[in-house]
Structure 1
Amino acid sequence: MDRRGNDAPAIGIDLGTTYSCVAVWKHDHIQIIPNDQGNRTTPSCVAFSDAERLIGDGAKNQVAMNPANTIFDAKRLIGRRFSDSKVQDDIKLWPFRVIQGPADTPKIVVSYKGEEKELSAEEVSSMILGKMKETAEAYLGKVVKDAVITVPAYFNDSQRQATKDAGAIAGLNVIRIINEPTAAAIAYGLDNKSDITCKITVLVFDLGGGTFDVSLLTIAKGGTIEVKAVAGDTHLGGEDFDSRMVDHCAWEFKRRWNKDLTGNKRALGRLRCACEKAKRILSCSIQTSIEIDGLHEGIDFSMKFSRAKFEELNMSYFDKCIATVNACLSDAKMKKSCVNEVILVGGSTRIPKVQCMLQECFERKELCKSVNPDEAVAYGAAVMASKLSGNNDKRVRDLILLDVTPLSLGQETKGEKLTVVIPRNTPVPTKKSKEFHTCHDNQSHTTISVYQGERARSKDNHLLGEYTLSGLPPAPKGITKFRNSFEIDNNGILTVTSEILSTRKRKKVTITNENGRLSKEEIERMIEDADKYKQEDQEYMKKAAAANALDDCIYDIKNMIKSMEHGERLKKMKKAVDYTTDWLDHNQAPSLDELQHMKEHLKAVCMPTF
């Protein structure tokens, strides 16, 4: 691998709740990069054991056996507080433990190499991003540094900042954060560029494993993509559909045998895997079976599951999806008849009922399925990464992206009221200002509390951060004035500048949600930890290879012994094999040196017969 990495192209990463995907511009087109298993998407899953750490397919494959130490859904925790009601609801469903960390941050607790470790959602996400980085490096043969990472359009500022931190921990320079449905629109626009002869309006319906977004965009002939409105739910997707199925199966188990399996984490993990598999089958069949041997207390579980039952269990979620589509159109003041294309993105859009309801919503309009729902987001991210890296290909160079902020931004004013400075669906980057005045006589300072959301009362919205503006000239209330300017960059990240009008004194603060966001020191510590994990993983692989080599050596010698005549050499070889086998049985965690030494010793004893 080229360690210089200077000429490595920037990559695009779709960091998904359930699956992630990485792509790159190479040989004049976008290539989706398969992982070491040959799969084009990788489970967003990390597992820990007494021996090793697994990421991706390896982690997902052993989840039923090791549920308490297999982490998934980290995206549902990133940038959120432990006390968030959505986090509390999720904790009841997850087999792994989540505790309250400093400043109300959620911490995931796992057992690794016999020790208890507390991990932040950023750390777990960084491990998945690191896996995608390694996948790209193996494919390109170069060290990758620059990346565009996607997030749900409805992610707030804290969640965007936390995703950027996760990228930094993984050793990536995050050159841009872009919205998932916007990335999918880029993929559609590039693939259909020759067919776009005038400005068209597209609605991207992005229903994934854990998040849901609707974006209304226009795509112009020259390559300008302009987002008109976004709506969504950062806590709605295939995982929720699985949970409804799990709840139903658990209820059925209790009805039949009067036994509650909800306290059995391993049983719930096996049941969830079976339900997810059944859900996928129900997208192409009208009925399937869920069958699990010895699910709970030795009882075998088997039941028929129909597509109709699946739809009945999840209809409230499907209705919510359609209501969100209507809200997005309403925000954009757009009639359904003006939408030229409805683009499906995300694995959950394969559900027939979702497609049927969406088609009915648009008066039987044919849905666009030309983009790959699993890969379109990574594809678009890679196009943007290539553009930002200076690609001169006309298709990329002409791309202009005009996005919007998904939620209103403002500050708390007297009476716990949220005064909006930047309304939702304002095109970004943007800068808007408002003037405020003091509320008390001779006030010398004021606290600026910045919120994001649509509720009238400030406390009902998401607190992004707060700071103190001091040095206000003493005067009767209402006389001293100051101006607050809110500025959002291309990543959707906010900076607030306060200026006292009479003195021109200014205070500029990048809102980083200091109470919940990782400090620079914590990020640096996690980067060191990430390197340590990587080294440990490499050491483990070396030990595993050495152990396998010793096993192979024993096996080869045993085969030779079978064909040998009796004699002193045969006795000596049998003794050496028995000794080595016994040593392995009594040394569960031998070092690499010990394994290599035992192999060399065995070969030395038996060498004349090789």
Structure 2
Amino acid sequence: MSKHRTCFGISFGNTSLCIAVQKDGKTDVVANDSGERTTPAVVNFSQNEICVGALSKNRLLRQPRATIPGVKRFLGSTDASLWDLSAHIPCEAHEGSLRFTVTYEKDDDELCERKVTTEELITYQLKKLHDIAQNQRNDDSYPCVISVPTSFSEELRKVVKTCAENAGFDVLRVINEPSAAALVYLNRKEPTIESPHILVYRLGGESSDVTILKYNGGIQQIICSERMISTGGQQWTVECAKYAAEEFKRKTKVSWDELSQRSKGKVLAAAEEAKHVLSTMESCVCSAESIHEGLDMNVQLTRARFEKSAQNHLLRAKQNILDVLGTAQITRDQVNMVVLSGGGCRMVSIQNMIASEFPSAEICKRIAPDEAVAVGSAIEADILYSRQVACDEKHLKRAIKLPTLSKNIDIQLRDGSAETILAKGTATPCKFEGPILLGDDEASVKILLLQEGLPLAKVVMADLNDNSDLTLSVEVLEDCTLRCQCVDKTTNRIESIIVE
């Protein structure tokens, strides 16, 4: 297969970045220059370079005024009060965005200030991924699919697309993170699978998502999706750090409050590393050098003790899942697949909780959870790029105008109320199909589709009889065209309308 079928999938989170490549019929994550498969979403500024990744994360403690951790959660916001590191780096609203002021030293020890916006920081992060991609494709074009939360508006998706293009990528489509994660496993399913409910659980660094998808005829439909900013992997890290600090205090009489900000950062970094180790090992040593007056911290930590310290967060994660199931009005037994994504889902306690709550479902964790979204995005990129090879440029541009539905598509019921059949955020192309039931002595039917309460399309079929077997089909195509069709299977009559 030629280099022209080399495509990329991008997952950029608030705490980490990941890029996968689809090449020669295989999909895999591309390691960065440090050999790591994920890259910290941290940007450091100096006189000679702008650095993204592990080195920047290490500089966060030593150069807090020149280093900015993930800012994805601030995209589209102008609320500077949300910035929790304002003591080190000032933040202000500026032209519809947030602008940060970093300070670093020049070679002559003179302090230099630089102002940078949220969009610029995200572009630097994506440029780092582009540098990684260059090891896989030495070309002027780097086709990719990039994933975003379902809550991102069309405007934010355009901003992300622009940032990626400024970083050097050719963005084929912007898709939803849970859809990308599910695609990893649905791509291998037999076509006989019918209408399964798929739960995608993402536990990231600072937030989590629960999404219910329905899969039918190769089309994913988002039934319900909720983001919880109060539940993230960082909370497990903090609990681990608290336990380590208590053990350090028991041995040295030095409390957490007596530690400097830099020492607290060291303990949190050590706790994060211990959390990762305990995902594969039963015990580890949580250690950090020179915590207080030359004293080192070395705390023996077991997985059981770690899980006990964070039990309340695990229960909250479980309740979040149950709440979304209630909102979607489905039971646990109706969930056929559970897909895990996000680095937090590497924790054994999370995997055991999911397996316990969904004993009859397939638990999908073959792909590392923090890599699943990138891999699914790369699969989608290959699908889209293969179509581009066969289509002219004009057709392609039309095909990527509407990566997801920006509004619900509803159908008006007999009592005048409306019911959503294709939800906002559903990836296109998408399709709804269902039966139409006739009332007693009813000889005609009117189908009225709505968007935000306004008429979108109307189909009327008259002269029906008692034996009429009606089916409604509503489909949104890749070129943004909507096709509504009513079929009488007994007579093969069709009434349809196309809205462009």
Q: Same fold (TM over 0.5)?
A: yes
Give the Å deviation of 1:154.
3.6
Question: Who is 2:463 aligned against?
Answer: none
CA distance in 2 between counterparts of 1:176 and 1:340 reads: 28
Whether contact under 8 Å (1:18, 1:45) holds in the other structure is yes
Does the Cα contact within 8 Å between 2:7 and 2:23 map onto a contact in 1?
Answer: no
Contact 2:149 2:177 in 1 (8 A): yes
Match of 1:300 among 274, 296, 299: 296
> Residue 369 of structure 1 corresponds to which residue in structure 2?
365
Q: Tell me, yes or no, if structure 1 residue 178 matches structure 2 residue 169.
A: no
1:23 corresponds, among 20, 36, 42, to 20
Q: Which moved more, 1:143-152 or 1:364-373?
A: 364-373
Q: Partners of 2:303 and 2:133 in 1: how far apart?
A: 38
User: How far off is 1:184 after superposition?
Assistant: 0.9
Q: In the alignment, which of 40, 46, 49 is matched to residue 43 of structure 1?
A: 40
Q: Does 1:147 align with 2:144?
A: yes
Residue matched to 1:126: 123
Alpha carbons of structure 1 residues 83 and 57: separation in structure 2 relative to 1, 3 Å: closer
Is the CA contact (8 Å cut-off) linking 1:146 and 1:175 kept in structure 2?
yes
How big is the shift at 1:96?
A: 4.8
Alignment pair present for 1:333 and 2:351: no
Counterpart check, 1:432 vs 2:451 = yes
Whether the 8 Å contact between 2:231 and 2:316 is mirrored in structure 1 is no
The CA deviation string for residues 322-351 of structure 1, in whole angstroms up to 9 with x for no partner, is 222223222322221121111222221121
Q: Is the 8 A contact 1:405 1:424 kept in 2?
A: no
Which residue in 2 is equivalent to 1:76? 73
- Residue number in structure 1 paired with 2:228: 233
Paired residue for 2:102? 110
Say whether residues 1:349 and 2:345 are aligned partners: yes
Q: Does 1:389 align with 2:385?
A: yes
**Amino-acid identity (%):** 29
Are 2:110 and 1:91 equivalent residues in the alignment?
Answer: no
CA RMSD between the two structures: 4.0
Q: How many residues align?
A: 412
**Which amino acid in the other structure matches residue 147 of structure 2?**
T
Instruction: Report the alpha carbon displacement of residue 183 of structure 1 after superposing the two structures with TM.
Output: 0.1
Where 1:311 maps in the other structure, the secondary structure is: helix
Residues 323/302 of structure 1: CA separation in 2 closer, same or farther (3 Å cut): same
SS at match of 1:230: strand
Q: Are residues 354 and 156 of structure 1, via their aligned partners in 2, closer, same or farther at CA, if it must alter by over 3 Å?
A: farther
Q: Is 1:57 equivalent to 2:54 in the alignment? A: yes
SS at match of 2:173: strand
**8 Å CA contact 1:137, 1:143 repeated in 2:** no
| Gap regions ≥5 residues in structure 1 | 409-419, 436-487, 493-610
- Larger strand proportion, structure 1 or 2? 2
SS in 1 for 2:387: coil
When Rg is computed on C-alpha atoms for both structures, the one with the higher figure is 1
In structure 2, C-alpha distance between the alignment counterparts of 1:218 and 1:37, rounded to whole Å: 39
Corresponding residue of 1:223: 218
Change in Cα spacing, 1:103 to 1:241, as seen in structure 2 (3 Å) is farther
Residues 354 and 73 of structure 1, relative CA distance in 2, 3 Å threshold: same
Mapped partners of 1:247, 1:120: distance in 2: 34
What per-residue deviation string (whole Å, max 9, x for no partner) do you get for residues 110-167 of structure 1?
A: 2244412222222221111011112212321112354321112344566545433432
CA deviation after TM superposition for structure 1 residue 227, in Å: 2.3
What's the counterpart of residue 413 of structure 2? none
Cα 1:200–1:257 shift into 2, 3 Å: same
Deviation at 1:355, TM superposition (A): 1.8
Q: Deviations over 1:60-94 (max 9, x none)?
A: 3444443443322222333334356xx35x438xx
Query: 1:230-271 CA distances to partner (integer Å, 9 max, x unpaired)?
Result: 122256322232233335545665675355557733223322
SS of residue paired to 1:143: coil
- For residues 481-539 of structure 1, give each alpha carbon's deviation from its aligned partner in whole angstroms, at most 9, with x where no partner exists: xxxxxxx999x9xxxxxxxxxxxxxxxxxxxxxxxxxxxxxxxxxxxxxxxxxxxxxxx
Amino acid at match of 1:82: D
**1:45 Cα offset (Å):** 2.1
Q: Distance in 2 between matches of 1:52 and 1:66?
A: 14
In structure 1, distance between residues paired with 2:317 and 2:408: 18
Equivalent residue, structure 2, for 1:502: none
- Structure-2 residue corresponding to 1:576: none
Q: Give the TM-score, by structure 1 length.
A: 0.59
Pairing 1:204–2:200 present: yes
